[in-house]
Structure 1
Amino acid sequence: MIDSLVAFLTTHADPALAIVLFTLAVRLLLLPLVIKQARSAKIKERLAPKLRELQKRHSKNPERLSKEMTALYAKEGSSPFAGILPGLAQVPFMWLMYRVATHPTALAGHYLFGAPLGQNVAGVVASFGLVSVPFLVFALVIVGLLVVAWLMSRRMRAAATADQPEMLRKILPLLPFASVVTAAVLPLAAGLYLLVSTAWTAAERTVLFRPVTNQPL
C-alpha cells in the first residue's frame, strides 16, 4: 500500500511538492477531528474551577467523584474522554504521512533545490560539504522547524497553569523541539514533512485552542 501510494505521488508531481500537498491534504482531512478536540479542550478549561471543587469535595470517594464529573461534562454535551478519541484517530494518518516522507527507495534521485530528498544532514555534508547549496536547503528547513518549535513552546509556557505539576510545566515546552532533532537525523523529505505538519499544528492551536476567558460557567 505504502509503495503504491508513494509511486503515485512521485509519478504525478514533483516529489517535494507531492510531500507538501499530501501533508496538507491529510491535515485538512483531519481538521474536523481537531475542531472537535479543541471544543473538548475549551469545555474542560471552562469547567476547571468546578472540577477542582468536586475533587476537593469528593477526594475520599473516587466513585462519587467520577459520577459527579461525568454529570458535569454531560451538561455541556461532552465527556472527560471527548478530547482523547479525536487525538487517537489522528495517529494512523500521521503514521501514513511519516511512512510516505521516509520511504527508502522512491525518493532516491529526487531533489529539493539540489538537495537530495533521501539523504539526512550527515549524508548531505559528506556528499556536498558544509559550504554548499544542498546543505543550505537542509539548514533552512531545520531553521524553519526551530522557529515553529520556539513559537509553540512559547505558547505552551503562556498556557501553563499553576495547578499543573511543576515537572510537567518544565517538560511540555521542550517537546516541540523534538521535531528539530528528528529532522537532523532523518532524510530531508521527512524534515520537509515535519516543517509543513508542525507549522499547520501551530496555526491550528493559535486559531482553535485559544484560552477561554471571561465566560460564565
Structure 2
Amino acid sequence: MDLYAFPPIAALLDGAHAVLMGLADLLEPLVGVTSAAAAVVLVTLLVRAALIPVGVSQAKAERTRARLAPQLAALQRRHQKNPERLQREMMSLYRSEGTTPLAGCLPMLIQAPVVGIIYALFILPTIAGHANQLLTHTFLGVPLGSSLAGSIASGTVTLDVLLVFGAVIVMIAAVGEVTRRVFTPQATQPQATQPQATTGGSGPGASASPLENPTALRLLGLAQFITAVIAVFVPLAAGLYLLVTVAWTLGQRMLLRRVYPLPAPSAA
C-alpha cells in the first residue's frame, strides 16, 4: 500500500503543495527561477518563528537542569548503590521544579513532520492524482527534487550538483561545529561536582540526567554533524530546510543563553 495515497496524507500533501506553489508564484517576480527554493526557506522561517515560545521553554529548562546539577550529584552519591531509589528521587526533584530530564526536546519532535512533508513533496512525481509541479523548479541550476547520493548512484552528478550540495552540506557542518563549541562546555561544567567515578561511573547511577552524562554529551556533539550526513541523501529542498533550521537554532540559542544564562560554575 502506498502510504502517500492514503486519503488524509494525500490531502495534507496536496495542501502543502498548493501553499508552496502559491508562495513560489508570489516570489517569482522577486527571485525568478529560484522562487520555489525561496518558498521553502520562507516556510522554514515561518515554522521556526512559530516555535519561538518552545525555544524559550527549552532555554528555561536548560537553565533549570544546570541549577539542579549539584542536587542531582548529591542524590547520586547518596543512592549510587540503589539505582531504583535514585531514579525515584531524581524524578521527584524534577517534578518539584516543574521540569523533566528531557525537557526541551519538543522542537525536534514538532519539526519532524515538517521535514517529512517537504521530503515527500520533492520525491513524488504525482500528488493527490495530479503532477507535482515542484519537481520542475531548480536552485542554482540543480533540481530541488534531486539528492547528492541519488545523483552519484545514477551517474548523473555534475559540477553544479557537487558545488550546490557541497556548499549546503559544508554550511550545515560548520553550524554544527559552532554549536558544539559554544554549547558543549557549558553543559559539562556541572560534572565537576561529581566524584563517584571511581565507584560506579559506568553504572545506572553514573549521571544526573541523560543530558549531563559525558558520554551523552559526546553523542550530542556528534549529532550536530548527523544533519550534514542526512543532507547527502535527502532532496535539495529538504537540505535547504535543514540548513536554515540549524542556522536559526544556533542564533536563537545564543540569544536565549544571554537572556537565560546558566548558573556560574562556582555557584554549582
1:108 to 132, 135, 145: 135
Query: Does 2:37 align with 1:16?
Result: yes
* TM-score (structure 2 length as normaliser): 0.67
SS at match of 2:100: coil
Question: Aligned in 2, Cα 1:54/1:115: closer, same or farther, shift over 3 Å?
Answer: same
* RMSD (Å), alpha carbons: 2.9
* TM-score (structure 1 length as normaliser): 0.81
Identity %: 32
Which deviates further from its counterpart, 37-46 or 155-164? Answer: 155-164
Q: Any unmatched runs of 5+ in structure 2? A: 1-11, 25-34, 126-131, 195-211
Which residue is equivalent to 1:189?
A: 237
Give the drift of 1:24: 0.9
Query: Does 2:167 align with 1:140?
Result: yes
Which deviates further from its counterpart, 115-124 or 175-184? Answer: 115-124
Give the drift of 1:102: 4.1
Residue 100 of structure 2 aligns with an amino acid whose one-letter code is P
Q: Equivalents in 1 of 2:72, 2:149: separation in Å?
A: 50
Number of residue-to-residue matches in the alignment: 211
Q: Equivalents in 2 of 1:35, 1:158: separation in Å?
A: 21
Q: Equivalents in 2 of 1:24, 1:214: separation in Å?
A: 35
Which residue is equivalent to 1:80?
A: 100
Question: Aligned in 2, Cα 1:5/1:54: closer, same or farther, shift over 3 Å?
Answer: same
Asked if structure 1 preserves the Cα contact closer than 8 Å seen for 2:176 and 2:224, the reply is yes
Q: Equivalents in 1 of 2:157, 2:85: separation in Å?
A: 64
1:55 to 65, 76, 79: 76
Question: Aligned in 2, Cα 1:89/1:157: closer, same or farther, shift over 3 Å?
Answer: closer
Q: Equivalents in 2 of 1:6, 1:67: separation in Å?
A: 49
CA deviation profile, 1:17-70 (whole Å, cap 9, x unmatched): 111111111111111112112101101101211221133234448558735763
1:129 to 151, 154, 158: 158
SS at match of 1:108: helix
Which residue is equivalent to 2:60?
A: 39
Q: Equivalents in 2 of 1:143, 1:68: separation in Å?
A: 40
SS at match of 2:216: helix
Alignment of 1:82-101 (within 5 A): 83-84=102-103, 87-88=105-106, 91-101=109-119
Q: Considering only CA atoms, is the larger Rg found in Structure 1 or Structure 2? A: 2
Asked if structure 1 preserves the Cα contact closer than 8 Å seen for 2:119 and 2:234, the reply is no
